[in-house]
């Protein structure tokens, strides 16, 4: 079992170390996010000001001109930063146990999943409810096709396109198209590529 080192479970979680999620401090942060998420998901499309206010309160930062269509699912919300002029269609799941950083001008298709949590391979650690997380970084002008899944610890480079339904298990460089499970690069994107 991991050594007790005097840090809170939240401190361990934010450091990317093993932690136990069943912790009162983490539970309070989770409940705060659930309250805001519920309000955001129930917000009226005809009241974009209120929808934006709720999103700004829920997430760590939201750039100017960015829109996320409900429903949105997060763990904490406060560990998500999304740049300017980005768009996420219906059904984004962004489990932000570790930071999720999304750049400017990113297009996220419906039902995309950004999954930072991990669990130990060791069965005894899993049974004891230890878990961890690794951050996800999405570069500027990335397009994540509908149903794509991005796993813990992945960075996706600027201008890259991830095909619908792809499962991204490792870093993708800038200026490529990647598809499949696991996602693999099928071509490079150059000037004027359609």
Which residues carry out catalysis?
119
Contacts by 88-96, CB closer than 8 A, 24 or more apart: 88/112, 89/146, 92/68
Alpha-carbon gap, residue 105 to 187, rounded angstroms: 21
* Listed residue (182, 181, 189) closest to 143, CA to CA: 189
Alpha-carbon gap, residue 144 to 172, rounded angstroms: 12
Asked if residue 70 lies in contact with residue 43, where contact means CB atoms within 8 angstroms, the answer is yes
User: What does the CA dihedral 157, 163, 169, 173 come to, rounded to 10 degrees?
Assistant: -20
């Amino acid at each position: 079992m991991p050594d007790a080192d005097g840090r809170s479970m939240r401190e361990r979680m934010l450091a990317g170390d093993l932690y136990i999620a069943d912790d009162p401090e983490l539970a309070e942060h989770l409940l705060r996010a659930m309250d805001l998420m519920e309000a955001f998901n129930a917000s009226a499309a005809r009241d974009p000001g209120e929808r934006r206010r709720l999103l700004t309160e829920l997430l760590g930062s939201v750039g100017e001109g960015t829109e996320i269509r409900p429903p949105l699912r997060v763990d904490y919300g406060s560990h998500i930063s999304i740049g300017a002029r980005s768009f996420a269609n219906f059904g984004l799941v962004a489990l932000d146990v570790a930071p999720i950083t999304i750049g400017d001008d990113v297009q996220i298709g419906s039902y995309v999943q950004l999954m930072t949590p991990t669990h130990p391979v060791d069965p005894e650690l899993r049974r004891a409810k230890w878990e961890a997380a690794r951050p996800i970084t999405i570069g500027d002008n990335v397009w994540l096709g509908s149903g794509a899944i991005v796993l813990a610890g992945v960075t996706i480079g600027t201008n890259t396109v991830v095909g619908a339904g792809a499962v991204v298990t490792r870093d993708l460089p800038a200026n490529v198209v990647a598809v499949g499970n696991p996602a693999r690069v099928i071509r490079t994107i150059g000037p004027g590529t359609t």
